[in-house]
Amino acid sequence: MAERYHNYVDGQWTESETGETFETTNPAAPTDVVAEYERSSAADADAAVEAAAAAQDEWANTPAPDRGAILRETASILEGRKQELTTLLTREEGKAHAEASGEVQRAIDIFYYYAEKTRDLGGTVKSASGPQTTLYTVRGPVGVAGLITPWNYPIAIPAWKIAPALATGNTLVLKPAEVAPAVALELFEALDEAGIPDGVANVVTGFGATAGNAVVAHDDVDAVSFTGSGQVGQLVYDQATDDAKRVQTELGGKNPTVVSDSADVETAAEIVAGGAFGTTGQSCTACSRAVVHTDVYDEFVDAVVAEAEAIEIGPGDEYDMGPQVSEDELEGTLDYIEIAENEGATLETGGGQPEGDRFGDGHFVEPTVFTGVENDYRIAQEEVFGPVLTVLEVEEFDEALAVANDVQYGLSASIVTDDHSEAERFVREIEAGVAKVNEKTSGLELHVPFGGVKNSSSETWREQGDAGIDFYTIEKTVYDSF
C-alpha cells in the first residue's frame, strides 16, 4: 500500500482543505505507486505562511546555539534513517542507489554544518572615530522565507535552503516539487522529532501554480529562494521583486568541459562522462558540452563513447544509471535527440530507449553522444536535462573559451588540461559561477558559495556556506556611546 503524506503546518500533520490528493510513481516501474500527497490550495499555503509569521519573533529570540541543537538532532535522526531514505529516494526519483545515498548524506552533512555555524553568528567590531564609542554590527533574520525546490535533488536542495534559514532565526514554508516530495516530507518528520517549535518550519505539497504561487505572493513572506527551471524562475523573480522581497533563484545550465590538447584523453573522457551521465544527466551542473581540441578530438570521441557504452542502465537500486524521473522528462530528452539528428549532428552512441525485460515501461534512455555539432545548434545551446552529450571540435584555446562562453547560461564549467597557464586563464575568463580544473562540472562542496551568472541565476545571492547565512540575515550597524 502506498504511503500517505500530509502537510506539516504549525506543528501538525494536516490534510488539505481541498480534500484532493495526487500520487507519485516509481519511474523505473510506473505502475508502482510510491505515495499519495495533499493537493494543496492557495488557502493551505496561506495558512502555512501565517503559522510561520506567528512563530517568527519567538524563534528569532531563541539563542542561536539552541537553534543549532535542533539542527544537530535533525541531522542525527536523518543519519539513523539513511538507508530507508536512500531506498525511498531511489524508488520515487529514480536515482541510482549510490547517488541517492550520497544525496542523503549531503543533507545530513548540511544540517550538521549549519548546526555548528550557529555558534559563530555574531557580527564584527570596528574602530569608532570618537571616544567612548563602541562600533559594531549584528545580524538578524530576514523574517519568513518561502522556499520552492525541484525534484532532481529532493532532499539535498531543501536541506541547503532550510538549514541556514533556521540557523539564522528565520521561519519558513517549503513547497517541494510535486514529482518527488517524499524525502522532503521525511526531513520534516525529522525536524518535528527533533523538537522544532510549532510554526517555525512548515511544508505544503501540491502544484506550483496554486500552492507555490501563493507562498511567493503572500505579504508575510520576506524572502524567496527558488531552484528550478529558467522560465518559472523568471516568473518567481519578477513577482518577488515586484513585492520588494529578498529573492534568490538558481536555474538552468549548459555546462561545458574544455578538453585541452595537453589533457590525458582517457582521464578527460572519464571526467566528462561522469559529469554528463551521472544522475541520468538530471542535474543543473551536468556536463552537456565537451569542447575538445582538434589534436585529441578523435581519440576523445572514441574514449567517451566507450565510457557511455560501459554504463549499465536499469532500476536505480541495482544499476549504474537509473531512469528519467517522469514520462515528460523522457519525452523531452527524446525530442532533443531527434532535433539534434535533424540539425545534422552525428549520433555516435545511444539515442533511444533500451530494450529488455528489466526496463519494462520505465522511463529509461540510453547515454547519448553527438559529434559533428555546430555551436549554434539547439542541442548545443539549450538545456536538455537528460544524459545527452554534444562534442564540439575547436582548433585552439581561444576558440574553446569563446565556444564555452557562447551560451545564455553560466552555472558550472570545467577544463581538463596539463597546462597550468591554460587552467589559470580558464578560471579568469570562463563565464560561470563555478569553475573547475581537472574535475567534472557536477558535484559541489557544501561550505563554499554556489550560484551562476547570466540566465543561470538571478545573480543576487549565492547559496551554501557563509553565503547561505548572508541571504537569510540582515546586518545592523550599532553605535554604542555610553
Residues 162-173: pLDDT tens digits? 999 999 999 999
Q: Do 277 and 156 lie in a common domain?
A: no
Compute the distance between CA of residue 265 and CA of residue 260 in angstroms, rounded to an integer: 9
Compute the distance between CA of residue 81 and CA of residue 52 in angstroms, rounded to an integer: 27
Residue 275's pLDDT is: 98
Please indicate, yes or no, if residue 449 is contained in any of the structural domains. Answer: no
Please indicate, yes or no, if residue 452 is contained in any of the structural domains. Answer: no
| C-alpha R_g of the chain | 23
Residue 130's pLDDT is: 85
284 is catalytic: yes
Structural domain harbouring 247: 3-251+457-480
Comparing CA positions, the residue from 324, 340, 233, 313 lying closest to residue 283 is 324
Set of cell numbers at residue 362? 520505465
| Distances in whole angstroms, Cα of residue 376 to Cα of each of 276, 373, 380, 382, 408 | 20, 8, 7, 10, 12
Q: Do 190 and 311 lie in a common domain?
A: no
Residue 300 DSSP SS3: helix
- State the chain's mean pLDDT as an integer: 97
Set of cell numbers at residue 250? 538558481
Q: Do 274 and 368 lie in a common domain?
A: yes
- Cα 393–chain centre separation: 30
Q: Do 228 and 265 lie in a common domain?
A: no
Residue 32's pLDDT is: 96
Set of cell numbers at residue 15? 490534510
Q: Do 335 and 315 lie in a common domain?
A: yes
Q: Do 221 and 323 lie in a common domain?
A: no
Q: Where are the beta strands (DSSP E) in 3-63?
A: 3-4, 7-9, 12-14, 21-26, 29-38
Q: Do 247 and 260 lie in a common domain?
A: no
Residue 482 has pLDDT above 80, yes or no: no
Please indicate, yes or no, if residue 160 is contained in any of the structural domains. Answer: yes
Please indicate, yes or no, if residue 376 is contained in any of the structural domains. Answer: yes
- CATH number of the domain encompassing residue 71: 3.40.605.10
In the chain, how many domains are there? Answer: 2
Residue 197's pLDDT is: 98
How many secondary structure helices (H) and strands (E) does the chain include? Answer: 15, 22
The answer to whether the CB of 329 falls within 8 A of the CB of 150 is no
Half-sphere exposure of 279 (CA within 13 A, CB side): 25
Residue 169's pLDDT is: 98
Tell me the pairing of strands 223-227 and 201-203: unpaired
The answer to whether the CB of 437 falls within 8 A of the CB of 426 is yes
19 CB neighbour count, 10 Å cutoff: 9
Q: Do 355 and 463 lie in a common domain?
A: no
Comparing CA positions, the residue from 430, 1, 6 lying closest to residue 203 is 6
Please indicate, yes or no, if residue 430 is contained in any of the structural domains. Answer: yes
Q: What is the pLDDT of residues 117-170, one digit of tens each?
A: 999 998 899 999 988 899 999 999 999 999 999 999 999 999 999 999 999 999
Q: Do 312 and 340 lie in a common domain?
A: yes
DSSP symbol at 284: T
DSSP symbol at 382: S
Q: Do 201 and 66 lie in a common domain?
A: yes
Q: What is the pLDDT of residues 11-64, one digit of tens each?
A: 999 999 999 999 999 999 999 999 999 999 999 999 999 999 999 999 999 999
Sequence-ordered list of residues with C-beta below 8 angstroms from that of 219, at least 6 positions apart, any chain: 243
Comparing CA positions, the residue from 23, 18, 4 lying closest to residue 47 is 18
Q: Do 279 and 417 lie in a common domain?
A: yes
User: Where does the pLDDT of residue 2 fall: very low under 50, low under 70, confident under 90, or very high at 90 and above?
Assistant: confident
Please indicate, yes or no, if residue 14 is contained in any of the structural domains. Answer: yes
Residue 411 DSSP SS3: coil
Sequence-ordered list of residues with C-beta below 8 angstroms from that of 329, at least 6 positions apart, any chain: 282, 363, 385, 386
Compute the distance between CA of residue 360 and CA of residue 325 in angstroms, rounded to an integer: 15
Q: Do 154 and 194 lie in a common domain?
A: yes
Please indicate, yes or no, if residue 442 is contained in any of the structural domains. Answer: no
Helix (H) or strand (E) holding 291: strand 287-293
- CATH number of the domain encompassing residue 261: 3.40.309.10
Comparing CA positions, the residue from 235, 232, 236 lying closest to residue 224 is 236
Residue 285 has pLDDT above 90, yes or no: yes
> CA torsion, points 197, 198, 202, 206, in degrees to nearest 10?
150
Task: Name the catalytic one among 64, 284, 401, 446.
Answer: 284
